[in-house]
Structure 1
Amino acid sequence: MALILLAKGKSLLTLLKFGKFGGALVSMAASIGAYALIYPWGFAIGLVLLLFIHEVGHVLAAKRKGMPVSAPLFIPFMGALINMKRHPADAQTEAYIAFGGPLLGTVGALAVYGAAYYTGSPLLYSLAYVGFFLNLINLLPIHPLDGGRISTAVTRWLWLVGVVGGLAVIIYLKSVLFFIIWAMFAYDLYKKFVRRAKPGEQVRTSISSFLLPVEVLSQQPGFLLPAPDHRRELSFQTFSTLDRVQHVELRWDSLEFRGELELPEQGLIQRTRVAGLQHLHEEDGLHLKLYCEVDYIPFENNLYYEVPQAVRWRYGVGYFLLAAFLVVCMYSVHQVDGFLALADHRR
């Protein structure tokens, strides 16, 4: 399940930097162990693999659109996520990436269903049912679930359906997690369309770190090495590339520092500063590790939701057909499971 709700939690990703896919493997193992506390090992492994296939669908779709993403990160009992390093440029791209997860996830669940039909394994039937169910739930038109993101390219009126229908589904499932997602989505809609957010409430922060060698500078007369508790404003310049990625160049002239970072979305810069620093003694001399923050107000692109009518129809038809197909698949698995249970009873 693509809980992109947690996509902003970059601190979770930094805890697991053991190579590009090391964090994914560690978090997969942790999730399997956690699920195995409740379910059989076979089911735990199969569930995590189905989640992995779903997330790979998002990764492949993002790569096709040239969007940089992280490897999947798994969180026990919550699902999995990928971290998008910048926001899509338009609703069509957002919906395309969102479609990737449930599409490939459905293919994965179908493969398990086929294996279950061939072997008659109750475990595989259970996994297939759960796979179909998770992909169907992800199609709820609630942002930031996949269905909520697909809705941006179909019609945002589906969000209203998600507010009403999503609550009914959550009450039926009795899921605290989905209720939290729904509540955050409903509050976000309230801020956007009922109570417009005040400018101060829109400020977001992008954080980056830079390693600066200062061995030569520290030997110059009159040079003062800033203390770890030093804080200061930074000069900056900002520009956007042709692919609409905004860059911010930071400067600290007395340290001859130039650093550049990418904003995850287009924004109006409010403040740039050093929020902290460390003294590091490396093999090649003294370094400063600077933790820099950029405060910005997201730029509201009025053209973001302008999607060609043909694309709206294509995505809309695909969305509802996929949801209907998953419902049929779940019903089919349920019927087979009932037949197997009846056969066992007659024996």
Structure 2
Amino acid sequence: MTDKREPQKKNKPWWFMGAAGIFLLTKIKLLLPLLKLGTFGGTIITMAVSVWAFAQIAPIQTAVGLIVMIFIHEMGHVIASKQKGLPTSAPIFIPFLGAMINLKRNPRDAETEAYIAFGGPLLGTVGALGAFFIGWYWELPLFIYIAWIGFFLNLINLLPIHPLDGGRISVAVSRWLWLFGLTGGLFIILYIHAYVMLIFWALFAWDLYNKYVRKKDSKPRSTWGTFEVDMDPILEQGFFIPGTEHRRELAFETYSELEDGKQRVLIYWREMGLHGLLNLFEQGLIKSVYTSQIERITKENKAYLLIRCQVDYYPHTNDAYYEVAPKVRWKYGITYALLAVFLGYMMHAASKMELYIK
């Protein structure tokens, strides 16, 4: 009698996989053009890449099942955003980190943000239940295991850590849940050895620091940009060319785009022919706009000025965004808790079922 066993997957170094995921996260803007490859063009390409990546450390069937569970989860966000009238892209996958969608317009309030966040875990739970019942009915351990993965992914996503779904749901329940995410969330991540999740925890901790610690600092924040100006019109009009360290307060206008919610600053220095545009990293109250450095350069036998403009501003938090009716808070809070308990129970049930079928 011969012993036929499936070949074991060669173990790959997790540090390498994690490093690859971190690199892709830091280069996220490079992935955004994939969202323009038709409705699901970027999705199909990045799904295939993610399946290949996970297949390096797990059987191909498991890798496919994992990606399908993530896809169902992300489609929950897509459906929820459509229901709220917010245009969005198809999902794009990031190996070892999951997937993302790109909202083309920011939610108008915390309730809308939480509603969209709920869409992922809810539909993801339905998908995992589907795999569970297929595995139970036909006694297929693979489907039970994929169901367990689905339950786990949706449960871990409910941690109250921004930008996970739980962190976004928390804005409509209570932002005090973020404190649990900061402390208890870190303990859970370390306890279950989900070290890749430390990336999200670190981003979350930094965001909280900026919102609630640096906010109390009276010092303004700054952003800057450099603009190129043709010197010929300036000389023809007889205007004085300022020196390198010349500082001048500049006229400006500021506004926020409805589509993406970003605040923009239009900068004017009419004598120099400067009309520049800068984006703020966050909503802010402008303190001053001025030149911080001026440099003369020559390109193709023409003289130009490189004018560096700086914007100093105080961050502004729109607390009205977080105003949610008590009834809605209770509804979202109870749903949040029940879903977390149900997912935990189903993880336990799937583990027992897998052992029973085997």
State the TM-score, normalizing by the size of structure 2: 0.69
Output the amino acid matched with 2:206: Y
Aligned to 2:92: 73
Q: 1:340 and 2:340 equivalent? A: no
2:138 to 119, 137, 140: 119
Q: 1:194 and 2:202 equivalent? A: no
**Structure 2 counterparts to residues 204-215 of structure 1, below 5 A:** none
Q: 1:326 and 2:348 equivalent? A: no
**In structure 2, how many angstroms separate the alpha carbons of the residues matched to 1:244 and 1:32?**
32
Output the amino acid matched with 1:19: G
Aligned to 1:302: 319
Unaligned runs of 5+ in 2: 1-21, 226-235, 237-249, 291-308
Output the amino acid matched with 2:151: F
Aligned to 2:9: none
What are the Cα deviations for residues 217-249 of structure 1, in whole angstroms up to 9, with x where unaligned?
xxxxx9xxxxxxxxxxx9975556889956869
* Secondary structure class of the residue paired with 1:304: helix
What are the Cα deviations for residues 173-199 of structure 1, in whole angstroms up to 9, with x where unaligned?
223211222223223323333343658
Q: Which protein has the larger Cα radius of gyration, Structure 1 or Structure 2?
A: 2
Aligned to 2:123: 104
Post-superposition offset of 1:262: 10
Aligned to 2:155: 136
Alpha-carbon contact 1:86-1:265 (below 8 Å) kept:
no
State the identity %. Answer: 52
Q: 1:49 and 2:68 equivalent? A: yes
**Structure 2 counterparts to residues 129-278 of structure 1, below 5 A:** 129-196=148-215, 239=255
Alpha-carbon contact 1:35-1:76 (below 8 Å) kept:
yes
1:314 to 324, 331, 335: 331
**In structure 2, how many angstroms separate the alpha carbons of the residues matched to 1:205 and 1:28?**
38
Unaligned runs of 5+ in 1: 207-221, 223-233, 273-292, 342-347
Post-superposition offset of 1:113: 0.6
* Secondary structure class of the residue paired with 2:321: coil
What is the aligned length? Answer: 293
The alignment's C-alpha RMSD in Å is 3.8
Relative to structure 1, the CA distance from residue 188 to residue 241 in structure 2 (aligned partners, 3 Å threshold; closer, same or farther) is: closer
State the TM-score, normalizing by the size of structure 1: 0.71
